[in-house]
Amino acid sequence: MKKSLITMAALAMLAGCSLAPVYERPAQPVAQAWPTGDAYKGVPAAADARPVSQILWRDYFADDKLRKVIELALANNRDLRVSVLNIEKAKAQYNIDTAALLPKLSANVNQNASRTPSTMTGTGEAAINRQYNGGLVMSSYELDFFGKVRNQSEAGLQSYLGTEEARRTQQITLVSEVANAYLTLIADQQRLKLAQETLKSQQTTYELSQKRFASGVVAGTDMYDAQTTLESARNDVAVYTAQVALDQNALTLLVGSAVPEELLPAGDLAEVTQLAAIPAGLPSDLLQSRPDVQEAERALRAANANIGVARAAFFPSISLTASGGSASSTLSGLFKAGSSAWTFAPAINLPIFDGGVNRANLNIAKAERDISVAQYEKAVQTAFREVADALATRGTLDERLASQQALVDAAQKSYSINEARYRKGADSYLNALVSQRALYSAQQGLITTRLAKSSNAVTLYKVLGGGWQPELPQPRG
């Protein structure tokens, strides 16, 4: 009895054993602060220390139309829908892995019948023997002494959690793509409006030059110069008309359904992109809140658990098969008094020689763990680079925007003077043509710079890991 108790105690201690290495998060292969220098001087210090990952996208995007378009995309986008279904698939797989920790019981009723020929019965007559069995069966339950099953379950759990992080990455990417597509549509609408205004202005100038040429006041070159500007503006109107349609098609694809007419933008970038301020001077540790970095860490944890699975293959495995119920030679006698029967068949499998398969599997598991470490470190480095790039762009955008606005103002004054001189007949159309082209180019550049500033705000929100957390239900009135 004492030996049995000692044996059971030893088995209980072994049952808590795990051969997986103790998990330690790798050190971040990046600096502990964001880069500094001339490109980052325009980035303000953080006034709000709250991480961006805690800021809901509803709080970040101020425009009501844009918020409603994002809502449509989150409800209808097919890529996001696939990510959600992948979570359900991974959850089901994890449930399968976890079920191996418990024995499987099943009810079973069967009949065994055999016929003995007359030449073997000794009575000269053939005999038919029947046996009926019924009860509960536990088939091949493996005692998890070395943590093999538990490590398999842990790997499944980490894979399941990794798919959740992938869905969060997909969601924040979708939010940023919809916002950028919306902003691009606004910018192209403004470019189309500018081209139309330029076409209208150049049409008037061209008609004036035609009249002056017909009356002999100016040479034919002035009329043809005015026509070149007119045709160029007409071409731009056609180009941006098509581009606006393409932008709407791209937005429709992202949203996953037609965008209602009342939700399409019809304003300026400055009006639509009054985005909430975000903290800028955050330490690089906050990269851990990015779902893609967390996904890479989940994969590393799963690979770490798989080492424990591979190591357990070197040790004996004990499986139990048992059944209990009733047995009878007749069906009517089944489950009657005195018909109880049971079987108990423990089995021990001790690996002795496998041609190096277990060693190779362990080496594979270790290599996959090292690969996952490298992939995790690459994910951190990529995240750091993306944030640093966004901060560098943000630090110089105000200067670019101010200089571009000054360029537009100067070009506008130059064009106004040269246009007035031409209309009064004090100068040829050449100077007015040059200044008009410079003004048009500067105005296009101003639209591009404003779009870059708005898109940079969206990019910063994305790369700092914002907008993926589940939303609370909206309170009812």
Task: Report the helix count and the strand count for the chain, using DSSP H and E.
Answer: 11, 4
Residue 375 neighbours by CB distance under 10 Å: 16
Domains plus CATH for the chain?
16-102+146-312+375-463 (1.20.1600.10)
* Residues forming a β-bridge with 327: 133
The one-letter amino acid at 226: A
Cα atoms in the Cβ-side hemisphere of radius 13 Å centred on 26: 24
Instruction: List b or e across 456-469, with b for residues whose CB sees 16 or more CB atoms inside 10 angstroms.
Output: bbbbbbbbbbbbbb
Low-confidence ranges of the chain (pLDDT < 50): 1-2, 4-15, 471-477
> What Cα–Cα distance (Å) separates residue 291 from each residue in 172, 364, 474?
9, 27, 24
pLDDT for 8: 43
In angstroms, the CA 300 to CA 124 distance is 72
